[in-house]
Amino acid sequence: MVLIAGCTQQTLEDKCSDLKKNLRVGFNNLSKNCSTDEDCEKFSMNLECLAPCSVCVNKNEDVKKLEDLESEIYNSNCFITLCSPNCVATTCKCVNNVCEAIPNTEISSMLSQLNIELAKYYPSGNELKVIIRNKGNTSINVAKLSLFIDNELTAFSSTTGTLLPGEIIFLTVISEDVCNETLKIVPESGFEDYATIQC
Do residue 76 and residue 139 come from a single domain? no
Answer yes or no: are the C-beta atoms of 90 and 166 closer than 8 Å: no
Average pLDDT over residues 93-102: 89
Instruction: Say what the pLDDT of residue 89 is.
Output: 82
CA 81 to chain CA centroid, Å, is 30
Do residue 63 and residue 23 come from a single domain? yes
CB atoms within 10 A of CB 142: 19
Do residue 132 and residue 103 come from a single domain? no
Segment 146-175, tens digit of pLDDT: 889 988 888 887 767 888 888 898 988 888
Q: Sort strands 51-58 and 90-95 into parallel, antiparallel or unpaired.
A: unpaired
Do residue 125 and residue 49 come from a single domain? no
Do residue 100 and residue 116 come from a single domain? no
Instruction: Say what the pLDDT of residue 41 is.
Output: 93
Q: What's the whole-model pTM score?
A: 0.50
Inter-CA distances, 16 with 13, 76, 79, 154, Å: 5, 8, 8, 62
Do residue 99 and residue 135 come from a single domain? no
**Report for 46-55, 107-116, 167-176: range of highest mean pLDDT:** 167-176
Domain boundary among 108, 125, 157: 108
Query: Three-class SS of residue 122?
Result: strand
Domain boundary among 108, 124, 159: 108
Cβ-Cβ contacts under 8 Å for 55 (sequence gap 6 or more): 30, 32, 42, 43, 44, 101
Do residue 118 and residue 104 come from a single domain? no
Domain membership of residue 1 (yes or no) is no
Domain membership of residue 3 (yes or no) is no
Comparing 62 with 29, which gets the higher pLDDT? 29
* Gap between the Cα atoms of 173 and 122, Å rounded: 10
Do residue 100 and residue 129 come from a single domain? no
Query: Three-class SS of residue 66?
Result: helix
Domain that holds residue 89: 8-108
Instruction: Say what the pLDDT of residue 120 is.
Output: 92
* Gap between the Cα atoms of 16 and 107, Å rounded: 40
> How many angstroms separate the first and last alpha carbons of the chain?
86
Query: Three-class SS of residue 97?
Result: coil
**Number of domains present in the structure of the chain:** 2
CATH code, 149 = 2.60.40
Answer yes or no: are the C-beta atoms of 152 and 74 closer than 8 Å: no
Domain membership of residue 2 (yes or no) is no
Do residue 143 and residue 97 come from a single domain? no
Average pLDDT over residues 83-106: 83
Average pLDDT over all residues of the chain: 84
Domain boundary among 50, 77, 108: 108
Do residue 101 and residue 127 come from a single domain? no
Instruction: Say what the pLDDT of residue 67 is.
Output: 87
